[in-house]
Amino acid sequence: MKIKFKENIYHEVVNGVPMLLNVGNGLIVGLDNEGNEFIKKILNTDIEFDYSQLSYNLKELVTHLDNNNFLEHSFEKSNNEEIAFAYLHITNRCNLNCVGCYSMNDMRNVETDLDIEYIKKSIDYLSEVNIDTVIISGGETLIRTDIGEICRYLKKKKINNVVIITNGTIVNKNILKDIKGFVDTISVSIDTYNENTEGFIRDKGIHNKIIKNIKKMKEYDFNISLLPTLHKYNYKDLQKFVELSKELKTSISFSILTTTNEEPYSSLIFENEDLKGLAKELYYANVPFYNAPVHQSLQATDGCGAGSDMISIGSDGSIYPCHMLMEPSMKLGNIKDKNLIEAKQDKNNEFFRHYTVNDLEGCKNCEVKFLCGGGCRARAFMHTKDIKGKDPYCQMYYSFYMELTNEVKKSI
């Protein structure tokens, strides 16, 4: 038999661990010495193998690779027009003034929201590309009085996972009754773990109100997830946020502050030593991360997914590759006159449609590049003004995956 790998398969050594990485489906296969030598022969020679003469372990390896779409003859469904998840911004209005908010502008609270019919048109287009997850964002999402109608329409169009992001300060029973049964998760942004904690990002004095509203949402049996934003001054308190989630009986996932390195945000940006510390905090806390490529189990990826696996629709209907890249120069069109398939093919999305981590100058020689995928292109753009630039949190990804692969080495 002749074994040929698919084009999206990479053979790499990470922290001394040889592995095969399938960036098409995210799977990673760790290799022992026998398996690694076998794979090197396949990659470097054009010889055929007699399957019956292979050792038991190599037969198991070949079968596993075949069953998981590593090999050329394996059947794999592929549709480049499918999108895994999307941000749907239903308003830009908000009652808070959070530092670093990507939707912040001086006119946000006098802007007109996108009409419900265009919201539904957006959802129709999302349904056409087999979207799995829609994240309803803003502004403050619960400001819209028709939030229930939006959620019901999402479920009518068979959207599997509907998530609402809210700051947790505007909650009433009528809203909760209206969305009950049509939302899978309510994700509550939070900046403090108790009322005495200094909130560096969000307005002061809102902690108790948020906690009270979380408890109110729990009474209606909503699945609640806390969403703290980590920055230079609070990352060492990560475990205290975890304890708060346990106390409230909610899940939790963390966000990392994403903003420019200019004033007034520069003091909140991590230094390299902070990033190493954050990597350890995340690894040992064993909690999910919302907006950075760190995963508690190894996954293969060759990019961040912007403009390919994900898309963002602004509160005016504009379409962007990512919710953190809602810049005029990144605009792919507007939902009023362009569907999502057309938007993905827009000239402004050319880079995201075709790039891999190997195209990033600062990444191509890094051993963890197919684990972090080159990090976040939005953060890189904010800090370097170059979409191919270096993600400023690169050190965190590297340190995190060194910790994780150290554990893998122990099990081999």
Whether the CA torsion 287, 296, 259, 399 is positive or negative: it is positive
Amino acid identity at 392: P
Q: In this structure, what DSSP letter does residue 131 have?
A: -
- Cβ neighbours of residue 286 closer than 8 Å, sequence gap 6 or more: 296
Amino acid 77: pLDDT: 40
How buried is 101 (Cβ within 10 angstroms: 0-12 exposed, 13-18 middle, 19+ buried)?
middle
Q: Can you say how many angstroms the Cα of residue 281 is from the centroid of all Cα atoms in its chain?
A: 19
- Taking only the tens of pLDDT, the chain with its 412 residues reads 778 899 899 999 999 999 999 999 999 999 999 999 999 988 887 777 787 788 888 988 998 998 899 998 644 444 556 799 999 999 999 988 877 676 666 666 668 889 999 999 999 999 999 899 999 999 999 999 999 999 999 999 999 999 999 999 999 999 999 999 999 999 999 999 999 988 888 888 999 999 999 999 999 999 999 999 999 999 999 999 999 999 999 999 999 888 877 777 788 889 989 999 999 988 888 887 777 777 777 899 999 999 999 999 999 999 999 999 999 999 999 999 999 999 999 999 999 998 999 999 999 999 999 999 999 999 999 999 999 999 999 999 999 999 999 987 877 6
How far is Cα 323 from Cα 177, in angstroms, rounded to an integer?
A: 28
Which helix H or strand E contains 190, and what residues bound it?
A: strand 185-190
Q: Where would I find the H helices in 68-164?
A: 116-128, 147-156
Place of tokens 């995340």: 282
The CB density around residue 294, as the number of other CB atoms within 10 Å, is: 23
Predicted local distance difference test score (pLDDT) of residue 177: 97
What is the phi/psi pair of residue 86, to 5°?
A: -140, 150
Please name each of the domains of the chain with its CATH number: 9-67 (no CATH), 85-269+304-333 (3.20.20.70)
pTM of this structure: 0.87
Phi, psi of 247 (to 5 degrees): -65, -40
Measured CA to CA in angstroms, residue 342 lies from 82, 338, 349 at distances of 12, 6, 10
Structural tokens at position 53 = 């003469």
Q: Reduce the DSSP state of residue 48 to 3 states and report it.
A: coil
Predicted pLDDT at 103: 66
The neighbour count for residue 68, using CB atoms within 10 Å, is 16
d(CA 15, CA 10): 16
φ, ψ at 65 (rounded to 5°): -65, -40
Q: Looking at residue 74, what is its pLDDT?
A: 47
Alpha carbon distance 294, 267 (integer Å)? 24
Spell 148-164 as b/e; 16+ CB within 10 A means b: bbbbbbbeebebeebbb
Q: What tokens appear for 350 in the block?
A: 């050319």
Residue with the two structure tokens 């690169």: 394
Could you tell me if 347 and 321 are in contact, meaning their C-beta atoms sit under 8 angstroms apart? Answer: no
Scored b (16 or more CB within 10 A) or e, 204-222 reads: eebbeebbebbeebeeeeb
